[in-house]
């Protein structure tokens, strides 16, 4: 099993920053906005806010609520994780915004205390993650990515600017980067010997180099000029990687092999 060892404190800080940003945004909107449809199929703005805390409730050991609705039959529910998510949301759909936000604050306070009490050794322990077996720290980096993506969903729905806190952006981008060799090599079918570069612009500029030598992998430096360079704004990169309808392939700069570039962009989404 691959084990991703990550320092605890920056990721706890990143989670805290994203949770606080979502709470601040949720508290600032009207009840009409809270009830309005989000960009995510089947979910309102309030549903997205509630969802940010529901995995944290699971990690705290809170029991999954019983609900009357047959959530398995909902069109936007595609798998067992989706069923679990939807049961939580059905529970919270019966609550008003003040109650949901009160629960949100309680859950985040409990999770913050729980994470603060963990040792680095516990953080590095083997764990289930949505990406397969890895460390608990990797799971928490995925949580930063997931919560940050939902903050972006809320901002895109409401037409407000994203916050530009560097620490959560760095964690979210690295989590997306982990899937790019799979996107380039497997999904897009880049030929053996290909060299691909991703340039992500924004508050924390990053360059990702991928070499396809038998299989695609991340490399520190390319051994020659890239066959393809894709240039993204960081939010556009996240939207496309997250399979969001708000993503625009037309906003991406393509330099070099345009056919390969279009294949990569068509297959960029990796979120289930």
76 lies in the same domain as 128: yes
What average pLDDT does the chain have? 94
**pLDDT, position 238:** 98
187 lies in the same domain as 155: no
In this predicted model, what pLDDT tens digit does every residue of 228-268 receive, in sequence order?
A: 999 999 999 999 999 999 999 999 999 999 999 999 999 99
23 lies in the same domain as 114: yes
54 lies in the same domain as 135: yes
pLDDT at residue 1 above 60? no
Percent of the chain scored above 70 by pLDDT? 95
| Its pTM surpasses 0.85 | yes
Torsion of CA 67, 71, 72, 78, to 10 degrees: -130
In a domain, 110, yes or no: yes
End-to-end CA distance of the chain: 22
Yes or no: say if 144 and 171 are a contact pair by the CB < 8 Å rule: yes
**pLDDT, position 87:** 87
Yes or no: say if 158 and 34 are a contact pair by the CB < 8 Å rule: no
159 lies in the same domain as 196: no
pLDDT band at 99 (very low <50, low <70, confident <90, very high): very high
Q: Of 148, 238, 153, 155, which Cα lies nearest the Cα of 200?
A: 238
Please report, for the domain that includes residue 82, its CATH number: 1.20.120.450
Q: Which of 163, 193, 213 is the last residue in one of the domains?
A: 163
Residue span of the structural domain in which 146 resides? 8-163
Q: Which helix (H) or strand (E) holds 101?
A: helix 97-117
In a domain, 66, yes or no: yes
254 lies in the same domain as 202: yes
CA 65, 70, 72, 77 dihedral sign is: negative
Strand 126-127 with 134-135, pairing? antiparallel
27 lies in the same domain as 55: yes
69 lies in the same domain as 155: yes
Yes or no: say if 269 and 187 are a contact pair by the CB < 8 Å rule: no
Task: Classify residue 26 by burial, with Cβ atoms within 10 Å: 0-12, 13-18, 19+.
Answer: buried
Q: Which of 112, 139, 163 is the last residue in one of the domains?
A: 163
250 lies in the same domain as 155: no
Q: Which of 136, 163, 190 is the last residue in one of the domains?
A: 163
**pLDDT, position 86:** 83
148 lies in the same domain as 204: no
Distance of CA 242 to the CA centre of its chain: 7
Domains in the chain, number: 2
256 lies in the same domain as 191: yes
In a domain, 271, yes or no: no
Please report, for the domain that includes residue 200, its CATH number: 3.30.1050.10
Yes or no: say if 39 and 245 are a contact pair by the CB < 8 Å rule: yes
**pLDDT, position 272:** 60
pLDDT band at 73 (very low <50, low <70, confident <90, very high): low
Q: Tell me the average pLDDT across 2-10.
A: 94
């Amino acid at each position: 099993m691959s084990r991703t060892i990550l320092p605890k404190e920056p990721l706890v800080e990143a989670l805290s920053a994203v949770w606080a940003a979502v709470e601040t945004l949720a508290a600032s909107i009207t009840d009409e906005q809270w009830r309005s449809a989000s960009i995510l199929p089947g979910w309102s703005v309030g549903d997205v806010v509630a969802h940010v805390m529901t995995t944290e409730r699971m990690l705290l050991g809170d029991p999954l609520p019983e609900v009357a609705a047959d959530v398995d039959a909902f069109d936007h529910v595609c798998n067992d994780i989706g069923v679990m998510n939807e049961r939580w949301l059905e529970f919270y759909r019966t609550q008003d915004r003040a109650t949901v936000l009160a629960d949100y604050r309680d859950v985040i306070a409990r999770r913050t205390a729980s994470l603060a009490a963990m040792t680095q050794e516990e953080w590095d322990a083997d764990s289930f993650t949505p990406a397969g077996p890895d460390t608990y720290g990797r799971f928490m980096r995925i949580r930063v990515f997931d919560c940050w993506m939902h903050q972006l969903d809320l901002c895109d729905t409401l037409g407000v600017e994203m916050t530009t806190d560097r620490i959560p952006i760095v964690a979210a981008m690295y989590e997306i980067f982990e899937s790019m060799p799979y996107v380039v090599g497997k999904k897009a079918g880049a030929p053996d010997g290909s060299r691909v570069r991703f340039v992500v612009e924004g508050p924390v500029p990053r360059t990702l180099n991928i070499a396809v030598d038998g299989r695609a992998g991340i490399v520190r430096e390319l051994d020659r000029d890239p066959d393809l360079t894709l240039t993204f704004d960081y939010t556009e990169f996240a939207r496309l990687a997250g399979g969001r309808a708000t993503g625009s392939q037309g906003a991406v700069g393509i330099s070099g092999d345009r056919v390969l570039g279009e294949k990569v962009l068509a297959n960029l989404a990796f979120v289930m």
